[in-house]
Amino acid sequence: MEAQNTQPKKQRIFSAIQPTGVFTLGNYIGAVRNWDTLQEEYECIYAIADLHAITVMQEPAELRKNTMQAFALMLACGMDPKRSITFVQSQNPHHAELSWVLSCSTMFGELSRMTQFKDKSQRHADNINAGLFTYPVLMAADILAYNADLVPIGADQKQHLELARNIAQRFNQRFGETFTVPDGYFPKQGARLMSLQDPTKKMSKSDENANGCVYILDDKDTILRKFKRAVTDSDTEVCYKEGKDGINNLMTIYGAVTGKTMDEITAEFAGKGYGDFKIAVGEAVADHLEPVRSEFARLIADKAYLTECMTNGAQQAYHLTSKLIRKVYRRVGFIDRL
């Protein structure tokens, strides 16, 4: 008799990132560096969401370049195309096709309540297009096309996941069980990193002061310069306590990249000044990010390999969603495709 496979089926995770910029150190420490571990525990599907990117004006050549870079960065950060499906969203037409069907099961009032539409409309008042209004339906299609069990989300995305769940439930009630109703996946968060220039605010690429944010592709000299300019306080002791936001943030960063505790860091820098500490943090961060920078440089120089990975990933994604799309089309009453 054949031996039965007793391993439980892995739950499926879908996540997508827009090709709109490099991850910050905060993004990386908080979530991205856990991607490799995630692949061990789940069936992962990761996409570069270039369809979503065009809700705001894009220069076509720049979008293609950014998409290629974002894909390379995704691989450099640990996504393995041999273990996970990694692809570019627009290369699987099922996303757009399913989005139209789902938009006909989405209420206008639901979309008008989306807080991100209101925020983006204010920021892009000269381009309040229909795609900006309906892109939450495309997000739902992204997730539901793969019958994803889980979707990694932050606090600002709970509303979008809830809409996807509502759309799936409404469709299932009308046409019969078709979609998996996804749940949110709340990964164990790494340290919360703050701006180097205003340690009361989260590190963000939207920081008006370029020295407040460290990007994972910054070179070593740039990283060191930013840490040397980090805001501290008038004290001289490296220790973690209330009222020392700048030093607390630097200690948190140092601990995140070295694995050392606050007590160990305090002991290591006893009797040393802030200048020495800032340099040590910068050196540790640069060393920690070096493998990602090196791998990104290798990948972005190998366009043939990236294209091969994109093609294979898109084919896998298309194959995975084909059965569901046929079922959806059949259930809404479309004639079978030729």
Residues marked active site are found at 120, 202, 205
- Measured CA to CA in angstroms, residue 60 lies from 38, 53, 63 at distances of 33, 11, 5
Angle between helices 274-300 and 220-228 (to 10 degrees): 150
Long-range CB pairs of 307-312 (<8 Å, 24+ gap) are: 309/71, 309/75, 309/81, 309/86, 310/71, 310/87, 310/88, 310/91, 311/91, 312/81
Q: Is 263 left (phi over 0), alpha (psi -120 to 50) or beta?
A: alpha
d(CA 8, CA 161): 26
3-state helix, strand, coil split of the chain in percent (to 5) is 55, 10, 35
